[in-house]
Structure 1
């Protein structure tokens, strides 16, 4: 297959997320890195792009220059990844979609529900792919969990428990650290800090695995470090449209927790448990049976798990490999559209703009519910009610 053209906005030198995207996009040889606007400092972005191998005329100074430079090229990029600060996601994603590019946007997709609805509408009107990087849904055993639920191994799902709790912002002395402070500043982060940063990953994974969408929620949020305006800990009760109950805890002050993304799913026939820090093992407890360990890469797993398992059994699976599965899904979707064929069903798992919109609606619902002492609050965006 001819390599697809890929470009990146943001993710420059020293970026936390940029290398993971570049590794993920390049892993399978499906995408070629052809264009980038990698830094808010124009010359630094151009210089870094050239060092990464971009042609000088495609190492752009900013995203607007990149849009104009790529728009009419016969070899223009097929997919652009938006990995810039949160408040810029909407404008960049909107304009590239309107220009006919497929987009993978970092989360959160937008800063408001209204912006999210506009992105969904534009993606539908232009028939362009707009994906959102809930990259942890790319893990092989997360996809196997989804397959087990879908084929009925657990029966009706009763309860899902999701956590994304770490302790890396627990030091009150870090209150003035600019790398931390902005996350709790409403002017830069919006209406939510920890839930919008980490909680929506846990929420998306829960919904992704059980195949149900969030309808309403009740939230209790707190700023454990009093100088913070926005929350650093949240406990959220969830109700899904298929009848499942959810419990979600997210925190940035849980000293001793590192990454802390875990998911447990309980149905009438059994339960599943997975942790992102130990991604090679999925624990399965059938009703009345003994607990079993499902190993990533072993024989007899689902097509979704087989397709997304990258290294032989027993070797560590890492975050860039999960990102690579999202990129592989997108490559398959773009190639299928180009050739007019049906895409591989086992690859049709990338998070959509609709997922980004639902997450933003949940962020605002959490903020509203917490302000109202945990009152049950509608969590669906208006266009999906």
Structure 2
């Protein structure tokens, strides 16, 4: 259980690119990173408008001289300081992730990056190789994976409680963009612009989240081939999709399905992961993240609760307030940032990291999945071998 004591000996000197005034995701990054004394926010290039970024940085108690006009200036100036930054989080639109991550790694910094890492598999693999050469951590903010019941699901499957896995049902289908909200909302406008968002909208924006959760739960399963059909129901979003259906076949004979959508009218989040085995099934829903449904054929349905003693020890390790109290997205992100910090310290000391976290390889896999989905859809929703 986590009681708020420091998890690393010294806080990592940390900066942000993006995440400025009005950025909801920037606030989540800071709230998560600054818990448990793992990181210390000492610098930032928070805004495309330098003065606005400096004023915002001062509100975060960042020294004005360390509020920079852009990331290139920040990396160069911080490298000249004895107390310069050691890590940076990137909370900017998708089209900038590749260049900023590459520059950060070349500057000798650890990185936490919003997904996707970049637009193409070649770029993603380049970043993976660069991270390895530089011996630096790249964490990817698949923020839902820090919920404790994801770990419980992973351990139940590893224990064989479900038997052989047969079906993987995944969805992230909300309804908030059922009309062209991007006409009046800047944070949505760039998401439907291929120059900024990349080759997809909902496949990359929401679909990769449950996909990664399934990879955490089922680390031994590999996609063999897939078929994707995507639609632009709000026609002005074409060629990017606002709805997509992806069928998958795995190397063990299991089958899977991912529904990615922002036009599921009336749905708040609609992110669910259901894993079906030969003996039992489990289901997790992000709107009720403290529960995991465990269904054994022929027995009453069980609702497993976060923080309870009957869970696996690893699922209790990051409990923060005990069973019965509701935890949420901020706790999930805090757990991930704690892992990022411990991985960074271990890597700097040439120690083995013996725990999972969403790393650069997972970021590469997300880019790879989107690329294969787009390739299938562009070929008329045909089956394609997973490359």
Q: The TM-score by the shorter chain falls in which range?
A: over 0.9
Q: Structure 1 residues 242 and 80, CA, compared in 2 at 3 Å: closer, same or farther?
A: farther
Q: Does residue 82 of the first structure (1) align with residue 97 of the second (2)?
A: no
- Which string of whole-angstrom CA distances, capped at 9 and with x for unpartnered residues, describes residues 345-370 of structure 1? 4xx22111111111112112111211
Q: Report if the CA contact (8 A) 1:221-1:235 is conserved.
A: yes
Q: Measure the CA separation in 1 of the matches of 2:108 and 2:296.
A: 48
Q: Structure 1 residues 309 and 8, CA, compared in 2 at 3 Å: closer, same or farther?
A: same
Q: Structure 1 residues 242 and 39, CA, compared in 2 at 3 Å: closer, same or farther?
A: farther
1:163 to 153, 159, 171: 171
Q: Report if the CA contact (8 A) 1:161-1:248 is conserved.
A: yes
Q: Measure the CA separation in 1 of the matches of 2:73 and 2:182.
A: 36
1:140 to 142, 148, 157: 148
Q: How does 1:272-291 map to 2 (within 5 A)?
A: 272-291=282-301
Q: Which residue of 2 aligns with 1:196?
A: 204
Q: Which residue of 1 aligns with 2:228?
A: 219
Q: Report if the CA contact (8 A) 1:167-1:258 is conserved.
A: yes
Q: Which residue of 2 aligns with 1:356?
A: 363
Q: Report if the CA contact (8 A) 2:339-2:357 is conserved.
A: yes
Q: How does 1:1-385 map to 2 (within 5 A)?
A: 1-172=9-180, 174=181, 176-179=183-186, 180-211=188-219, 212-229=221-238, 230-343=240-353, 345=354, 348-380=355-387
Mean Cα deviation higher: 8-17 or 284-293? 284-293
Classify the secondary structure of the residue corresponding to 1:350: coil
TM-score (norm 2): 0.93
Unaligned runs of 5+ in 1: 381-385
Q: Structure 1 residues 100 and 263, CA, compared in 2 at 3 Å: closer, same or farther?
A: same
Q: What is the aligned-residue RMSD (CA, Å)?
A: 1.6
After TM superposition, which residue ranges in structure 1, 4 or more long, deviate above 6 angstroms? none
Alpha-carbon distance, 1:300 to partner: 2.9
Alpha-carbon distance, 1:124 to partner: 1.2
Number of equivalences: 376
Q: Which residue of 1 aligns with 2:3?
A: none
Q: Measure the CA separation in 2 of the matches of 1:76 and 1:213.
A: 41
Alpha-carbon distance, 1:195 to partner: 0.8
Mean Cα deviation higher: 148-157 or 134-143? 148-157
Q: Structure 1 residues 352 and 341, CA, compared in 2 at 3 Å: closer, same or farther?
A: closer
Q: Structure 1 residues 182 and 332, CA, compared in 2 at 3 Å: closer, same or farther?
A: closer
Alpha-carbon distance, 1:340 to partner: 4.8
Q: Measure the CA separation in 2 of the matches of 1:265 and 1:10.
A: 36
- Which string of whole-angstrom CA distances, capped at 9 and with x for unpartnered residues, describes residues 239-273 of structure 1? 23344311110111111101111100111221101
Unaligned runs of 5+ in 2: 1-8
Alpha-carbon distance, 1:341 to partner: 4.4
Q: Measure the CA separation in 2 of the matches of 1:138 and 1:162.
A: 18
TM-score (norm 1): 0.93
Alpha-carbon distance, 1:206 to partner: 1.4
Classify the secondary structure of the residue corresponding to 2:37: coil
Q: Measure the CA separation in 2 of the matches of 1:267 and 1:373.
A: 31
Q: Report if the CA contact (8 A) 2:135-2:348 is conserved.
A: no
Q: Report if the CA contact (8 A) 1:41-1:61 is conserved.
A: yes
Alpha-carbon distance, 1:178 to partner: 4.6
Q: Measure the CA separation in 2 of the matches of 1:206 and 1:155.
A: 16
Alpha-carbon distance, 1:96 to partner: 0.9
- Which string of whole-angstrom CA distances, capped at 9 and with x for unpartnered residues, describes residues 101-138 of structure 1? 11111001101111111101101111111111111111
Classify the secondary structure of the residue corresponding to 1:290: coil
Alpha-carbon distance, 1:144 to partner: 1.2
Q: Measure the CA separation in 2 of the matches of 1:299 and 1:64.
A: 49
